[in-house]
């Protein structure tokens, strides 16, 4: 699917790295040709009137566990970085190569290579070969690499290859089979729990190893006050560390699980209200670099179980944009910063020429009505499963048109 005719979007509010401005944007040969107040459609151009709506880069979802094209398109996602926790794991070049081509032409899938064979945390996988096959990063998967020697070798190897390491920061020896964060709520509900410090311990070790090796490390989810402190301190020292979060962890606390609803059974588990407030502060301060969906749809066989036995995960692609725009309405961040978190920074980490409205970049564009109200109804979701923790919640912000490589989809 190649762009055969130039396309100009007029009348919109362009979400650029410098802010939101009125103007037009012209797309040609799959790239952004020009944008600004003085851009005009040429005679043979296809024209879309955005009527005062936001014209933004397509979202880049960093760290999904499944590819749901309809759900991604609904949420404005044009690229997704797929975690290696597949069946079989993405630990061979041939699997990486297949996944890298699987979403085209209307969705780009960027596979993350498994850090270790079978994601077992013991022996490094053939990361260089997987990079050559299309991997845009290397990931530890849902788990933490307990062996510090293996983790150091991984970081050193990734630094040599200039690949970002996407890590899951939870000390597995502490979390075990925990379904909740230790505290009053877990105690009252009688749920197996783990201390929030499991995150801080994992972060402290991996940050120290990243500092030793000079590697780029991205913690896919940081969710605790102490965790944000560690990332903040590491950045101040010049460590090449970034971190992400999902809407569930900045909008919900462990209070959301008091009715044992398994759609709130997540990994990492929901934290205390104090940690949630710390997350909002970290987003506002710029400590958090990426907001991702954590898209991990689970069917009824995994969710219609006692809370402690249910599989962790949520279907987050369709609500990612709307929940992040809520931060703009609450004045935690501005619109330009929201799309830096949703698109520009993920693009930088993955090394793709997209994620911002800038001439020469890929023409992946979302036209958004930020005020459009809608109701999250799991029975009408486009994902392969409906396990959203935001079911029955009202929100605002919808994609009205999505463009991939200059072609409306």
Phi, psi of 114 (to 5 degrees): -65, 135
User: What is the pLDDT confidence band of residue 112, given thresholds at 50, 70 and 90?
Assistant: very high
Please tell me the predicted confidence (pLDDT) of residue 384.
83
* Per-residue pLDDT at 382: 86
Domain assignment present for residue 29? The answer is: no
pLDDT at 98: 97
Average pLDDT over residues 143-163: 97
pLDDT confidence of residue 5: 93
Q: Into how many domains does the chain fold?
A: 1
Boundaries of domain holding 116:
84-351
Q: Can you give the pLDDT at residue 240?
A: 98
**25-47 per-position pLDDT tens digit:** 999 999 999 999 999 999 899 99
- For residue 60, being part of any structural domain is answered with no
Express as a percent the part of the chain with pLDDT over 70.
100
pLDDT in tens, 63-77: 999 999 999 999 999
pLDDT beyond 80 at 1: no
Confidence of residue 383 (pLDDT cuts 50, 70, 90): confident
pLDDT above 90: residue 244: yes
Does 194 map to a domain?
Answer: yes
The per-residue pLDDT of the chain, averaged, comes to 96
Instruction: Look at residue 391 and tell me if it is in a domain.
Output: no
d(CA 68, CA 88): 18
194-237 tens-digit pLDDT: 999 999 999 999 999 999 999 999 999 999 999 999 999 999 99
Predicted local distance difference test score (pLDDT) of residue 19: 95
Nearest to residue 384, comparing CAs of 70, 118, 42? 70
Q: Are 276 and 332 in contact (CB under 8 A)?
A: no
Could you give the C-alpha distances from 279 to 243, 260, 316, in angstroms and in order? 11, 24, 18
Q: How much is the average pLDDT of 176-180?
A: 92
pTM over 0.85: yes
Quick check: is 195 in a domain?
yes
Confidence (pLDDT) at 277: 98
Whether 156 is covered by a domain: the verdict is yes
Residue 185 domain-assigned (yes or no): yes
Model pLDDT, residue 238: 97
Within a domain: residue 226? yes
What secondary structure, in 3-state letters, does the chain show?
Answer: CCCCCCEEEEEEEEEECCEEEEEEEEEECCEEEEEECCCCCCCCCEEEECCCCEEEECEEEEEECCCCHHHHHHCCEEEEEECCCCCCCCCCHHHHHHHHHHCCCCCEEEEEEECEHHHCCCCECCHHHHHHHCCCEEECCCCCCCCHHHHHHHHHHHHHHCCCEEECCCCHHHHCCCCEECCHHHHHHCCCEECCHHHHHHHHHHHHHHHHHCCCEEECCCCCHHHHHHHHHHHHHCCCEEEEECHHHHHCCHHHHCCCCHHHCCCCCCCCHHHHHHHHHHHHHCCCCEECCCECCCCHHHHCCCHHHCCCCECCCCCHHHHHHHHHHCCCCCHHHHHHHHHHHHHHHHCCCCCCCCCCCECCEEEEEEEEEEECCHHHCCCCCCCCCCCCCEEEEEEEEEEECCEEC
Quote the pLDDT of residue 177. 86
What would the mean pLDDT of 41-65 be, rounded to a whole number? 96
Q: What is the CATH number of the domain that holds 205?
A: 3.20.20.140
The neighbouring-strand residues paired with 21 are 14
Q: How many angstroms separate the CA atoms of 192 and 166, rounded? A: 27
């Amino acid at each position: 699917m190649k762009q055969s005719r130039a396309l100009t979007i007029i009348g919109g509010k362009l979400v650029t790295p410098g802010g939101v401005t009125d103007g037009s944007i012209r797309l040609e040969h799959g790239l952004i040709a020009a944008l600004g107040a003085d851009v005009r459609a040429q005679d043979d151009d296809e024209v879309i009137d955005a009527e005062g709506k936001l014209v933004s880069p397509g979202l880049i979802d960093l760290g999904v566990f499944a590819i749901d094209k309809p759900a991604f398109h609904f949420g404005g996602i044009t690229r997704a970085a797929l975690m290696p926790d597949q069946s079989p794991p993405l630990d061979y070049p041939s699997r990486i190569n297949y996944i890298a081509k699987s979403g085209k032409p209307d969705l780009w899938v960027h596979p993350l290579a498994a850090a270790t064979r079978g994601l077992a945390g013991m022996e490094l996988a053939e990361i260089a070969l997987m990079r050559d096959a299309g991997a845009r990063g290397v990931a530890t998967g849902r788990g933490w690499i307990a062996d510090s020697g293996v983790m150091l070798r991984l970081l050193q190897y990734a630094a040599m290859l200039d690949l970002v390491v996407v890590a899951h920061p939870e000390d597995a020896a502490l979390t075990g089979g925990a379904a909740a964060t230790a505290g009053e709520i877990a105690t009252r509900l009688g749920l197996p729990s783990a201390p929030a410090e499991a995150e801080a311990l994992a972060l402290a070790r991996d940050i120290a190893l990243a500092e030793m090796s000079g590697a780029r490390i991205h913690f896919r989810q940081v969710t605790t006050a102490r965790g944000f402190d560690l990332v903040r301190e590491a950045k101040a020292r010049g460590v090449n560390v970034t971190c992400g979060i999902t809407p569930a962890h900045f909008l919900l606390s462990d209070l959301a699980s008091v009715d044992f609803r398994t759609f709130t059974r997540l990994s990492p588990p929901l934290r205390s209200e104090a940690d949630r407030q710390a997350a909002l502060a970290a987003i506002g301060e710029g400590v958090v670099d990426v907001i991702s969906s954590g898209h991990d749809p689970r069917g009824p066989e995994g969710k219609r179980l006692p809370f402690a036995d249910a599989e962790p995960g949520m279907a987050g692609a369709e609500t990612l944009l709307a929940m992040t725009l809520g931060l703009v309405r609450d004045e935690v961040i501005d619109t330009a910063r929201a799309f830096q978190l949703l698109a520009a920074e993920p693009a930088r980490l993955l090394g793709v020429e997209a994620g911002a409205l800038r001439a020469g970049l890929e023409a992946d564009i979302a036209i958004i009505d930020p005020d459009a109200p809608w109701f999250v109804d799991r029975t009408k979701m486009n994902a392969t499963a409906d396990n959203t923790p935001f079911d029955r919640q009202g929100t605002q912000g919808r994609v009205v048109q999505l463009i991939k490589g200059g072609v409306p989809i």
